[in-house]
Amino acid sequence: MVRPSAKVVLISAIASGQGKTTTTAALARKLVKLGKTVRVFKTGPDFIDPMMLERACGSPVHSLDLWMVGQAGSEGMLARAALDADVILIEGVMGLYDGNPSTADLARAFGVPVVAVLDASAMAQTVGALAMGLRDFGPVHLAGVIANRIASEGHANMVAAAMRDIPLLGSLRRQEEALPERHLGLVLPQEVDRIEAILDAMADSLELDMQAWNALPDTSVELREHASQHVSQSAANLAGKTIAIARDAAFAFIYPANTECLIGLGAELVFFSPLADEAVPPQADALYLPGGYPELHAETLTQASNWLVSLRAAHAKGMPILAECGGMMAITEGLVDQQEHSWPMAGILPGKVIMQKRLAALGAQALATPQGELRGHTFHYSRFETTLAATSHTIKHATQQQGEAIYKLGNVRASYFHAYFASNPAATAAFFLRDAV
C-alpha cells in the first residue's frame, strides 16, 4: 500500500478574523517563490478563500471536511496531493476547536501538525499564553506560531521571547494593501486590481524562520484504493450528456470536486457567461446554475437578453436545471439589492429575492434523496419570498432541524443549498437526467 508523504501543516487560529487566509496565501506564495511545489486545501465548505489560495499556489484548492467530504474522501485527496507536492497547507475554519467536526478533529484524524496564526496587533507576550492554550486544550500537536500584524522587529522579538517551548515559525507585518472583503468574504481574486503584486508583497513581508520550518517533519498519508475514487458504480450515469454551467463573477461558487464528479459520471461540461450575455449552449442536455454574486451584477443580468431568452427557452422545453443559491436568485421574478433597487430576473420561479444586511443562514446541511443523503452547506444574506410551496427541506447537520427549502417547478430544482456532489454521485446524476428530475 502506497504511503506518500510531504510536509503537511494545518493553519488555524483562535477565531475568524485572525488572518488565516492572508497568512496561508503569503506562506504558499513564499514557498512557491522558493521553488517548492505547494498544494493548498481549505477546511470545511468554502468557495471564496479557495479562489484566493489557488492564485497564491497555482493549483486548484479542494475542501477537506470530515463530514461533508468524509474521512475517506479527505484522506484520498491528501494522499494524492502528497504524491507530487513538497508542501501541503490546509487552512482551517473559524477557531481551532469550533464546530463539529472541528479543525482540530481534522488535524488529529490525519496526524497533521497545527500552525497557529495569532493576531499580535494589540498584544505581545500574551501571544505565548494563547498559543499554549490552543495546544493544551485539545490537545493538538502545535508545531509553531506565525504572528500576524506585527508592527516592528522589536514587537516580533517580544512575541518570540514569550513563546517558551513553542517555535515562532514566522511573523507577518501589517499589510499596507490587504485583501479586500465584502459580505460573503473576500472579494473574488479576478476582481482585485494588482492581485499578483499584492500576493507577492504579502509573501515578501512574511519573515519565515527557515531553520524551524525545515525542521518540521513530513507527514505520510495512506493512499487506499477506495479513497482514490470520488465516483462509485454509478460512473456512467451521465455518459453522453452535456451539462452547461454558468461561470463568471456572478456565478462563481463551484467546488472543483463538483466539476470533477460530473466528469467522472461521464458528462461533458461546457461553460458560459451570463454576464457576457452568452446564451445557454445549444448542445446542452442539462443546466447547472451555481451560486455567486448576482446581486452585485443585477443590472448587467437584467440587460443580458441572450442569456434570459435562452434560459427561459431551456426551461420551456423541459431541460433539467439545478439552481443553487445565487443561481436560484437569478431565475426568480426579481431581486431587490442592498440599496433597495429592484431588478427583474428570469421569472421562472414566482416570487422575489430580497437582500438583507443580517446573515440569513450558515452551516452544514444534508438533503435526503431517493439515492441517499446528499451533503453540502448554506450561506446567504437574502430571503426568497414566494407562493411556491417547498417540495422538501434539507436537515441542519448541527441540530437535525429543518434547513433550506427545496423548490421544484417542472424540471427545475432550486434552493439556497449548495450541494457537494461527490458526497452522493448517484443523487447528483439524478438532478441532471430528464426522467429522474
The set of catalytic residues is 325
Q: Which helix (H) or strand (E) holds 24?
A: helix 20-33
DSSP 27-56: HHHHHHHTT--EEEEEESS-SHHHHHHHHH
DSSP 228-266: G-SS-TTTTTTTT-EEEEE-BTTB-B--HHHHHHHHHTT
Cell digits of residue 289? 446554475
Count of beta carbons in the 10 Å neighbourhood of residue 102: 22
Closest alpha carbon to 106 in 63, 51, 166: 63
Return the SS3 of 393. Answer: strand
Cell digits of residue 18? 485572525
Cα separation values, 168 from 7, 209, 210, 230, Å: 17, 8, 11, 38
Rounded Cα distance between 36 and 28, Å, is 9
Q: Cα 99 to the chain's mean position, in Å?
A: 16
Count of beta carbons in the 10 Å neighbourhood of residue 400: 9
